[in-house]
Amino acid sequence: MRAKHAVTALSAGLLALVTGAHALARDVGDQYGPEANGWFLQDAATPVMEDLIFVHNLVQVIITGIVIVVFGLMIYICLRFRESKNPVPSKTSHNTLLEVVWTILPVVLLVIIAVPSMSLLYKQDRLPETELTVKAVGGTWNWTYSYPDFENVEEFVSNPLDETQAKAVGQPYLLATDAPLVVPVNTKVKVLVTSVNNMHSWAMPAFGVKMDAVPGIINETWFEVTKEGTFYGQCSEICGIRHYYMPIEVKVVSQSEFAAYIASGGEPEDKFAGLDLNETSGAVMTAANR
């Protein structure tokens, strides 16, 4: 299966090189993941992530303020009280009022942080009445997905695309898989996460979700995505040699598309279908890629 894909993709790659990679992009919709050279949180795709960004920004403002105050004080003190300016040091070593103030003030700031932080925590953790259940099982080194709600849908393995394959289908290497988990938009989805051997962690930054996959334990989390598209995450608990190579891809589709997908037995679409096959061009592609 994987070998076939590799060959297909290698050849498709050459074509991509000629026609421009994105022209061949499969129907993955808009893609959401880490931003190129980005330096801020990924965009929210769920209400939980929106709250998470809010709490982050609140804390960020407060801690930036603290750093600026401390730095400013240090600069001021260093200029004002340097030896040449202040040759005779004072001997003060107490000021009860000051000491009380700088104990109370952080407490106030922490309370300001704690209140929204708690509401985010409970919102994120307490499962609402979910409408769909999916199961993600970590293995070495890929994810196996299944839909316990639907008996006609078989579980399937989601393997990473190698560099050439990813190029061929216009998806990012180390984020794209051959078979995404498909879920409907605007639906509360419960995710069951577990593992068959080492620990892993099922992480989807844009959803504000990260849940460890622990053998012998089934963890629960949930999300409700508000926009369609393809979302990327990566395994987030060290699990051995290919820890870096077991990405997570979730395709969010409209509810009707999802119904059709389930009705058809949930067969993962073949990402390489329709790409031109050319047995011999693989090696050329790899070389051209470097």
Contact 28, 171 (CB under 8 A): yes
**Residue 44 lies near Cu ion (rule: CB under 5 A):** no
Is residue 34 a contact residue for other proteins (CB under 8 A)? yes
Q: x/- site string to other proteins, residues 250 to 289, per CB under 8 A? A: ----------------------------------------
123 near Cu ion, rule: CB under 5 A = no
Closest CB 149 distance from other proteins, rounded Å: 21
Q: Check binding of 252 to Cu ion (CB under 5 A).
A: no
CB nearer to Cu ion: give 52 or 235: 235
CB-based contacts of 183: which residues, under 8 Å, 6+ apart?
Answer: 132, 134, 189, 225, 250, 251, 252, 253, 258
Residue 125 sits in the site that holds other proteins (CB under 8 A): yes
Instruction: Check if the beta carbon of residue 210 is closer than 8 Å to that of residue 201.
Output: yes
Distance CA 64, CA 109 (A): 13
Tokens of 119: 């509401």
Tell me which residues in 57-86 interact with other proteins (CB under 8 A).
59-60, 63, 66-67, 70-71, 73-74, 77-78, 81-83, 86
Binding mask 181-220 for other proteins (x = CB under 8 A): ------------x---xxx-x-x-x--xxxxx-xxxx-xx
Of 233, 240, 152, the closest CA to residue 193 belongs to 233
Q: Does residue 174 bind other proteins (CB under 8 A)?
A: yes
Q: Which range, of 148-156, 194-202, 217-225, 266-274, touches Cu ion by CB under 5 A?
A: 194-202
41, interface contact from other proteins, Cu ion, none, CB < 5-8 Å by kind: other proteins
Per CB under 8 A, does 112 bind other proteins?
A: no
Contact between residue 230 and residue 28 where contact means Cβ atoms under 8 Å apart: yes
| Distance, CA of 223 to CA of 225 (rounded, Å) | 6
Preceding peptide of 141 cis, ω within 30° = yes
Q: How does strand 189-195 pair with strand 248-253?
A: unpaired
